[in-house]
């Protein structure tokens, strides 16, 4: 994570870690997802108005990306 990125929220369960990140320099929001069991990870840029929904349901947003 760079100095412009602020972690707003983190949740984890079943080996999956989901982070809600805000980049203050770009004023953008993204969701970072990591599977600690497999090491797989991905990030999604999301609209600000969808940030909480994407944080709650990141795999639904992955299929739309």
pLDDT, tens digit (0-9, with 9 covering 90-100), for 26-63: 999 999 999 999 999 999 999 999 999 999 999 999 87
pLDDT value at position 2? 84
Burial pattern 22-37, b for ≥16 Cβ within 10 A else e, equals beeeeeebbbbbbeee
Within 13 Å of residue 62, how many CA atoms lie on the same side as its CB? 13
pLDDT, tens digit (0-9, with 9 covering 90-100), for 5-33: 999 999 999 999 999 999 999 999 999 99
Domain limits, the chain = 5-64
Check whether 64 has a pLDDT greater than 90.
no
Angle at 14 between CA 13 and CA 15, to 5 degrees: 90
Element (DSSP H or E) covering residue 61: helix 58-64
């Amino acid at each position: 994570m760079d100095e412009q990125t602020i972690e707003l929220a983190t949740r984890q369960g079943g080996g999956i870690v989901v982070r809600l990140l805000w980049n203050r320099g770009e004023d953008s929001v993204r969701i970072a997802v990591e599977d600690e069991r497999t090491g797989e990870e991905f990030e999604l840029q999301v609209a600000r108005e969808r940030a909480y929904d994407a944080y709650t349901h990141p795999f639904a947003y992955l299929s739309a990306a």
